[in-house]
């Protein structure tokens, strides 16, 4: 963002912080919503929000107003913040009481592993997209060709959109099967 938009590190940080701020605000309410409206429903809604936000971020380029970028990042925070509580409830309700500690530990492990592997996967996708645009393999930011970075970023967000669509389909199918058995 700093190199493509020529903005300061401080401003880039303020823009990127919109995601975790929204997530922090929303997360406490996610449990209440999950209890009130059902974990499956809130998990599906949050996945739909993540699909929309990823597609929105895939539309961003170097001319997109920074406010729009903040809104898309905030929407990611909203979807992500809503996702965790109902998912935890679904996992914890699916294990016996004597296995709650193990399940809780596995949830923490999977969350941390997912963040680590997700960051690696996103970078692999980003540089795959950049390399596709440049026509050769690269592991460096293409300073002279910012459009290659935009292409790589869009490529990454379209792939993550597709992954969230698959997760949404699985979530809806599991919920449908659960209701009809």
Q: Which residue has the higher pLDDT, 19 or 151?
A: 151
Q: What is the pLDDT of residue 5?
A: 63
Give how far the C-alpha of residue 111 lies from the chain's centroid of Cα atoms, to the nearest Å.
12
Q: What is the pLDDT of residue 22?
A: 92
Look at residue 4 and tell me whether its pLDDT is greater than 70.
no
Burial label for 165, CB within 10 Å (0-12, 13-18, 19+), is middle
- Reported as a single tens digit per residue, the pLDDT across 48-97 is 999 999 999 999 988 889 899 999 999 999 999 999 999 999 889 989 99
What's the length of the chain?
A: 181
- Phi-psi region at 61: left, alpha or beta (left = phi > 0; alpha = psi -120 to 50): beta
**Of 161, 157, 155, residue with least CA distance to 51:** 161
Look at residue 174 and tell me whether its pLDDT is greater than 90.
no
- Reported as a single tens digit per residue, the pLDDT across 94-141 is 899 999 999 999 999 999 999 999 999 999 999 999 999 999 999 888
Q: CA torsion 55→9→3→137, rounded to 10°?
A: -70
DSSP 9-34: HHHHHHHHTHHHHHHHHHHHHHHHHH
Q: Which residue segments constitute the domains of the chain, with CATH numbers given? A: 2-179 (1.20.1250.20)
Q: Which residue has the higher pLDDT, 19 or 166?
A: 166
């Amino acid at each position: 963002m700093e190199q493509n938009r020529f903005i300061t590190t401080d401003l880039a940080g303020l823009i990127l912080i919109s995601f975790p701020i929204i997530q922090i605000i929303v997360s406490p309410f996610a449990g209440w919503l999950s209890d009130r409206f059902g974990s499956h429903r809130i998990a599906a809604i949050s996945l739909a929000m993540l699909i929309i936000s990823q597609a929105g971020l895939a539309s961003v380029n170097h001319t997109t107003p920074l406010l729009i970028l903040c809104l898309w990042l905030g929407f990611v925070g909203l979807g992500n913040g809503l996702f965790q509580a109902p998912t935890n409830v679904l996992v914890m309700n699916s294990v016996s009481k004597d296995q709650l500690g193990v399940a809780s530990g596995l949830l923490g492990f999977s969350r941390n592993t997912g963040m680590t592997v997700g960051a690696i996967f996103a970078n692999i996708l980003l540089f795959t997209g950049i390399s596709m645009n440049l026509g050769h393999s690269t592991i460096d930011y293409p300073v002279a060709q910012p459009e290659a970075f935009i292409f790589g970023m869009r490529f990454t967000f379209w792939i993550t959109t597709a992954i969230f669509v698959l997760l949404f389909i699985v979530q809806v199918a599991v919920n449908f099967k659960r209701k009809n058995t």
